[in-house]
Amino acid sequence: MRRSAGLLSALLLGVSSSALAQEQCVDGMSQVPLERHLRQLYLDLLARPPNMDEYRFIQAKGIITEADVDELMSRDEFFARVKGYHRSLLRTNVSASVYDNGDTRVNSTTDGFKPLESRGNPSASTRGRNGLGCDHFIQQDSCNAATQDPHLEGTSKLCRDTNGVPMPVSVDYDTGIFACTPLAAADCAAAAGAGLLAGTGGGVTDKLLYFCDNRRQTNGTLAPFLCLPDPAKPTTMNMTAETLDGAGRVVSFANATVVPGAAYNQLDRCDLSLGLRNGVKGSYVTRRGCWVREGVAQAPAPFWDKSGVSTVTVCAIEAQDRAVNPVTMESCETGRFMSDRSCGCGAGFRRCEFAEGTTNVQSARVNAVNEEPLQITDSVVRREEDYFNILTTRRSFLNSALSEFYREKQGVGVWAVTPPSSLEALPAIDYTMDANTWLEYTRDPNNAGVLTTPAFLYRFPTYRSRVNVFYEAFLCKHFSPPPDAKLPPADDACNRENNLARRCGCNYCHATIEPTGAHWGRYGERNATFLDPVKFPRYDAKCRDCALAGNTNCDGECSNYVMQALDGDGANSLGLLKTYLYRTPDEEPNISGGPRLLVERMLQTGDLERCAVKNVWKEMLGRPMSDQEQALYMEKLTGEWLTRGRSFKELMKLVIDTDAYRRID
């Protein structure tokens, strides 16, 4: 569009046809006229065409000066345009890289005490079914003040165990296993009195009382249902054998003949009791076929709540803020916290999230993570610093979402991110502040520009993908085998080499990728964690001993270490940090030097400058540099750019000043 708009611009302005003839001839090619040149500049620098007043202003001057270009480059539109350029260059979008299935999300409710509650998959562990919430009508700490099924609950409920962990306050039969039929009575007691629970086998009138379930209706009232093993399902249709207690009531149903491997051979009556997972105290598990719900409690308002309230009503499990399970001492700071009824959402709900109306915690975090590298590039461009500071600077920026995220150690179970500096050094920005407000701070020495931001590390989750995008975006190089590449016979042992830098065929690319990837060797894969040498030494004897004992998991503590001997090198490297495997003594400094060392080395070759010229050329002219243009312009542009301090603005101006930019070709 921009290169076919000269005539249209002239017509709009009422410019005579003679104005279009005011062209200079360079190398036998006609240059674009003034109006078309202006349109090109506006589209390239501001991402929009000039308005009528801007056309008339330049027409009156009769020339576009460097001062005019500088003025365009001072506008917010220009910096937004440069952000867009770098968003495309860096592909900053972690939406598909950070998987959030909503298990850590709490939702608003509309009945009873209207608590905030989670309804994710972990509810299967805490309540008996995924998607199940708490009891909205019973206060946890006065759980005996209200009953739902007296015949199932006993004479006195245990509201909390000795460690304060909330226990179930009501129970329902699982309709995925039991077929529940409504009874024409006020409640289960009335149904028993009316003989509705006698059962087909005779006996006392309340023979099936324990399988009568007062279930909450949509209007909040309770209604009785008789819940028996579903006769329409093959897993429960043969459960006809009854076990009675001393009062003649059924306490369980079982298959008449035990079926090895059957989903169910026996289903017991439901009550408020919990089992122990694998017999471990403090590790509660729900009874099969029963939905159990805890009640509601009060908790400090969530960090995302901007209403000013101090406390909110929340399901009692989510209301807790423990750091560890009080019995097993397992951490609540891992993804397992939602399935452990003793953990909860943490102080201020920092381990949970919310998404309703205009508040979406996960989206706010994703947006902030995506924006951070663009804030870094924007600061370098605005300050007219050496452009490659975007790859090396420790400077970065936080908004309210990122500040709370780092300082409060939020996002457990969804994000795995190491704070980029000590928590005390991070700007404290209240979550209620506008998300478009960004404050500058300095990250720890291991950080290097955009290359160590969560946006980059999550978007490119392996060190090989990080190398690939670095080469493509900043060196304009691509990995591919040479045209004359040949593979050895299929039975050649070289094909089975585990070290890709030496495996036949793979080595054409991986001989470069593997040692280069080591620059990200202190950063986790598929996450944005930094493997601090203090916590993750090069070699860990404990991991080696676990590996030799066959405990390749080592209780989850050695996932970053070599734990299996896949070849001779692996056998000699058990307990070695994975990133050091196959690294030569000459390559190991890449690990400690990090991405900054890689950039410093590439700056010695001139490849970074040449690639930046190619990228900006393509962006400004709408096409790549031809071989002839590289021969004509590359040395001149890179040399002049170096003398001007490698400012991104100066590079754009150098491209604008070329005769190629104004040619009609």
Structure tokens at 447: 């950080």
Q: Report yes or no on 331 lying in a domain.
A: no
For tokens 């149904």, the residue is: 191
Judge whether 126 and 317 are in contact, CB under 8 Å: yes
> Is there a single domain that holds both residue 237 and residue 155?
yes
Structure tokens at 180: 């529940």
Judge whether 569 and 581 are in contact, CB under 8 Å: yes
> Is there a single domain that holds both residue 453 and residue 486?
no
Residue 484: its pLDDT value, please?
87
Judge whether 327 and 306 are in contact, CB under 8 Å: no
Structure tokens at 15: 């410019």
Q: Report yes or no on 87 lying in a domain.
A: no
Is 617 exposed, middle or buried (CB count within 10 Å of its CB: 0-12, 13-18, 19+)? buried
Residue 3: its pLDDT value, please?
39
Residue 7: its pLDDT value, please?
34
Judge whether 582 and 569 are in contact, CB under 8 Å: yes
pLDDT one-digit tens code per residue, 620-662 = 999 999 999 999 999 999 999 999 999 999 999 999 999 999 8
Q: Report yes or no on 599 lying in a domain.
A: no
> Is there a single domain that holds both residue 253 and residue 391?
no
Last residue of a domain, one of 401, 422, 457: 457
Structure tokens at 530: 């930094």
pLDDT one-digit tens code per residue, 518-577 = 999 999 999 999 999 999 999 999 999 999 999 988 988 899 999 988 887 778 899 999
Q: Report yes or no on 80 lying in a domain.
A: no
Is 393 exposed, middle or buried (CB count within 10 Å of its CB: 0-12, 13-18, 19+)? buried
Phi, psi of 52 (to 5 degrees): -65, -40
Round to whole Å and give the CA distance between 467 and 461. 11
> Is there a single domain that holds both residue 471 and residue 370?
no
Judge whether 54 and 337 are in contact, CB under 8 Å: no
CA distances from 394 to 380, 421, 441, 444, 500 (A): 12, 10, 8, 7, 33
Q: Which of 630, 635, 639 is nearest to 660 (CA)?
A: 630
> Is there a single domain that holds both residue 228 and residue 170?
yes
Q: Report yes or no on 339 lying in a domain.
A: no
What are the strands of the beta sheet with 117-118, ordered from one edge? 117-118, 105-107, 353-356, 359-360
Residue 602: its pLDDT value, please?
97
Judge whether 130 and 286 are in contact, CB under 8 Å: no
Judge whether 126 and 341 are in contact, CB under 8 Å: yes
Low-confidence ranges of the chain (pLDDT < 70): 1-30, 199-205, 664-665
Round to whole Å and give the CA distance between 339 and 317. 10
Q: Report yes or no on 354 lying in a domain.
A: no
Phi, psi of 636 (to 5 degrees): -65, -45
What three-state secondary structure class fits 243? strand
User: What domain range is 644 assigned to?
Assistant: 606-662
Domains of the chain: total: 6
Helix (H) or strand (E) holding 287: none
> Is there a single domain that holds both residue 419 and residue 444?
yes
Structure tokens at 436: 């478009």
Judge whether 85 and 44 are in contact, CB under 8 Å: no
Round to whole Å and give the CA distance between 223 and 196. 14
> Is there a single domain that holds both residue 471 and residue 441?
no
For tokens 């046809």, the residue is: 17
Judge whether 76 and 52 are in contact, CB under 8 Å: no
> Is there a single domain that holds both residue 276 and residue 388?
no
Instruction: Please give the mean pLDDT across all residues of the chain.
Output: 92
Last residue of a domain, one of 409, 438, 457: 457
Query: Within the chain, what is the greatest distance between any pair of CA atoms?
Result: 111
Backbone dihedral region of 550: left (phi > 0), alpha (psi from -120 to 50 degrees) or beta? Answer: left
User: Beta 353-356 vs 105-107: how paired, if at all?
Assistant: parallel
For the whole model, what pTM was predicted?
0.90
N- to C-terminal Cα separation, the chain? 14
> Is there a single domain that holds both residue 170 and residue 200?
yes
> Is there a single domain that holds both residue 509 and residue 625?
no
> Is there a single domain that holds both residue 425 and residue 508?
no
Q: Report yes or no on 89 lying in a domain.
A: no
Enumerate residues 6+ apart whose C-beta is below 8 A from 176.
129
Q: Report yes or no on 95 lying in a domain.
A: no
Interaxial angle between packed helices 463-474 and 76-90, expressed in degrees from 0 to 180 and rounded to the nearest 10:
130
Last residue of a domain, one of 409, 439, 457: 457
β-sheet bridge partners, residue 314: 116, 297
> Is there a single domain that holds both residue 159 and residue 280?
yes
pLDDT one-digit tens code per residue, 173-195 = 999 999 999 999 999 999 998 88
